[in-house]
Structure 1
């Protein structure tokens, strides 16, 4: 082989070797870049997923907070309306009660409650009170029941109250108590 051929062979071998090395270096560089790209892509995706989750949780919390506020506001409005309606109903009840207290049925009701209280005492001392507004009915009721009655110094709207001192018992058939019990029961439903 002549020197030019040797040089050509050498040149070809060097170029082939350099090309192979450069291809290998480029491939290693590509692999390294691909690895860095994949790592950064995963990190970016993880960060995006975390941000997405945080923002989703924030939106859910905000929605729940607003929903709770709306629910509380609705409950407040319902309670306010219920209270207004309850007051209106009990004002109507009070008017009907006032009308009832002017009827003969009221005298019969009082005489029955007085008789019940007197029977309950079984001969022991009993003080039966009627409301100050019923003072005009005192003599009629005493005639009907045969029981001495006392005018209360406290207004209890109507009905009777009785005390058996020896047994420390209070019998309360007052309209104030019955009305407040009904109002309380009414509000609980």
Structure 2
């Protein structure tokens, strides 16, 4: 059973220095077991200026088992699936310790954005590009950050889809569900 008192304490800890760290965590749909974390893209990286949403689910064994995390915001990185947002990071698997917290896991994700490990990839295509063509990798990562992780980009997408006649609340929920991918959101909106 999840230690809900600990989770509440962790949420307070995460959110008390948001202005300094930029890291936020909030319950998703009034549940302390399903959370949304937000991390800023690290300075000096292709992710700078982006805000990345992390979908967090706490297993029954938390804090003795690691939280299940995936990037809800699409990101171009060797250790993060460009399709599903799955993350390859040791502390989210066998190196987890109950001494770690949701905030330390999010800080580790932010550090991962700064220091890709292409030798242990989650996304082999991105890892190959990172190894063979750094300039193209950096350009692609910057483009994805602009397209999917910048607030202005999201608001522009919402505005365009609303102008097509779709209701704002539906547009926002579908954009969030598809990780900000405007084309996929449009497909879902048209088929609904």
Query: TM-score range, shorter-chain basis?
Result: under 0.3
Relative contact order, CA 8 A, sep 6+: which one is greater? 2
Higher helix share: 1
Which of 1 and 2 has greater Rg? 1
**What is the TM-score with the length of structure 2 in the denominator?**
0.21
